[in-house]
Amino acid sequence: MRLLSEKAMCNTHGQVSSYFAGWEEYEKNPYDEVNNPTGIIQMGLAENQLSFDLLESWLANNQDTASFKKDGQSFFRELALFQDYHGLPVFKKAMVEFMSEIRGNKVAFDQNKLVLTAGATAANETLIFCLAGKGDAILLPTPYYPGFDRDLQWRTRVEIVPIQCTSSNNFQITKPALEQAYQDAQNRNLKVKGVLVTNPSNPLGITISRSELNLLLSFIISKGIHLISDEIYSGTAFNSPGFVSIMEVLKEKKCENTEVSNRVHIVYGLSKDLGLPGFRVGAIYSNNDKVVSTATKMSSFGLVSSQTQYLLSALLSDKKFTKSYISENQKRLKNRQKQLVKGFEKAGISCLKSNAGLFCWVNMKHLLKSNTFEAEQELWERIVYDFKLNISPGSSCHCIEPGWFRVCFANMSQTTLNLAMDRLKTFVDSTTNTNY
């Protein structure tokens, strides 16, 4: 007799890929400048550690808030007791204002349409639960974040159908690719419920163009389906063209407060823009009252702590700080991205021209033994095991062209980045010299 559930016994969690395998290898032998200088350098983690000093400075200057005090009096008891799962109004207000600020205040958000979740992972899954179920499909442009195989499918039982994008046009979304993905889903007897995009793109490190957003909006209108725009990297755009939110396009098209706007949803969080993944702050924004109501009920299974909301409401409400932080953080990301690209160029490797995110999309096709994913896997294993750099192969991101890799640059010190570039150069030299 089976003692465990079907879910416990299944092997479809989405973590059987080289993306997660690289993480496992890193955890066995993590690089440390002092204690393990020959360990694996983690370049597969899209984490922003470049602006911690700005956050720490704010905390030092707001010790009452950091100590959960208000007007010198402890506020801890109120925060420690039960809180409604709708979230603290003061935090939701600060959150939507911060979202507007990142978008240049070109669009405004209503805090009553915001649902708080324990991270963007929970936000994406909750939204999928609200829109689709078993036998349904969500279309995703490739390459896409490997974690989506887990986040969007494992518990919802929804299928991901790829929208195949290629390097021929820098992986932009096209109408033929959208139509082909829709047809592919129908051929599999799946009902397409929506399209999900990451803007800026993970793993490409580029913002989705206005023309692509208009195309996506026209597509969901013609098919009568939903559009999810995961905009968790929206504050990381550091070069032109700048970030354009799908909400801005809705406004331009005069589609606000229409039936179409009820089928457009945004996912956001503070993990990337503020570098606070451990705080587990995610959000769903939707004009659809039923989605907001259902997602709010579901959020009771993964709440953001009252202490986190209280602290961050004060930080996000400090407009002088947020304005300065956003600007300085983008400058630091731009500088770090330049350094990474320059390091790759020195090694004879090119990168997709990027303007956002915490990573670069790197072309190593010329280092492959053959134009196959088997050759890509072999190359990746040499990089991880022999040269101790954990990067993510394109196949784990469902890229249809072998030889692309995602490399993160914001989760390490300058010294560590320099060492990583030295190791990379040694790897390329050894590959070239041995005619690998």
Per-residue model confidence as pLDDT tens for the chain (436 residues): 578 888 777 766 666 688 888 889 999 999 999 999 999 999 999 999 999 999 999 999 998 888 888 888 888 888 888 777 788 999 999 999 999 999 999 999 999 999 999 999 999 999 999 999 999 999 999 999 999 999 999 999 999 999 999 999 999 999 999 999 999 999 999 999 999 999 999 999 999 999 999 999 999 999 999 999 999 999 999 999 899 999 999 999 888 888 999 999 999 999 999 999 989 999 999 999 999 999 999 998 989 999 999 999 999 999 999 999 999 999 999 999 999 999 999 999 999 999 999 999 999 999 999 999 999 999 999 999 999 999 999 999 999 999 999 999 999 999 999 999 999 999 999 887 655 4
pLDDT confidence of residue 14: 61
Rounded to whole angstroms, how far apart are CA atoms 195 and 136? Answer: 12
How would you classify the pairing of strands 389-390 and 73-74?
Answer: unpaired
From the candidates 19, 26, 145, 268, give the one annotated as an active-site residue.
Answer: 145
Q: How many angstroms separate the Cα of 88 from the Cα of each of 82, 237, 305, 307?
A: 11, 29, 10, 10
Neighbours of 2 (CB within 10 A): 7
pLDDT confidence of residue 255: 85
Catalytic (active site) residue 230: yes
pTM of the model: 0.93
Residue 32 sits at φ, ψ, to 5 deg, of: -140, 130
Residue pointed to by tokens 């032109």: 240
Catalytic (active site) residue 285: no
From the candidates 149, 151, 230, 273, give the one annotated as an active-site residue.
Answer: 230
Catalytic (active site) residue 145: yes
Rounded to whole angstroms, how far apart are CA atoms 364 and 428? Answer: 10
User: Quick one: which of 292, 229, 216 has its CA closest to 99?
Assistant: 229
Catalytic (active site) residue 232: yes
From the candidates 272, 284, 285, 310, give the one annotated as an active-site residue.
Answer: 272
Torsion angle, alpha carbons of 366, 370, 376, 380, to 10: -70
From the candidates 163, 206, 228, 232, give the one annotated as an active-site residue.
Answer: 232
Instruction: Give the distance from CA 119 to its chain's centroid.
Output: 11
Q: Where are the alpha helices (DSSP H) in 62-166?
A: 63-66, 76-80, 89-102, 120-131, 148-151
